Amino acid sequence: MNRLSYLDDRIAELRRHLDHLEGIKGRAKTADDLRHDLSLDNDVRHSLLVASQRVIDIAGELSSRRRLRFEDFSEAIRNLAIYEEFTDSLIRKLESLPELRNGLVYGNGAGDPARVIDALHHLDGIERFMQALERLGQKRR
Percent of the residues in the chain that have a pLDDT greater than 90, as a whole number:
86
DSSP string, 63-110: HHHTT---SSHHHHHHGGGGSTTS-HHHHHHHTTHHHHHHHHHH-SGG
Query: What is the pLDDT, as a whole number, of residue 25?
Result: 96
Query: What is the pLDDT, as a whole number, of residue 109?
Result: 78
Mean pLDDT value of segment 100-113: 88
Q: What is the dotted CATH code of the domain comprising 6-140?
A: 1.20.120.580
Indicate whether 53 pLDDT > 50.
yes
Q: How confident is the model at residue 4 (pLDDT cuts 50, 70, 90)?
A: low
Indicate whether 26 pLDDT > 70.
yes
Residues 31/36/38/40 CA torsion (nearest 10 deg): -60
Query: What is the pLDDT, as a whole number, of residue 110?
Result: 72
- Quote the strand ranges of 12-111, DSSP E: none
Q: From residue 127, how far is each of 51, 93, 97 by CA, in Å?
A: 11, 11, 13
Query: What is the pLDDT, as a whole number, of residue 74?
Result: 96
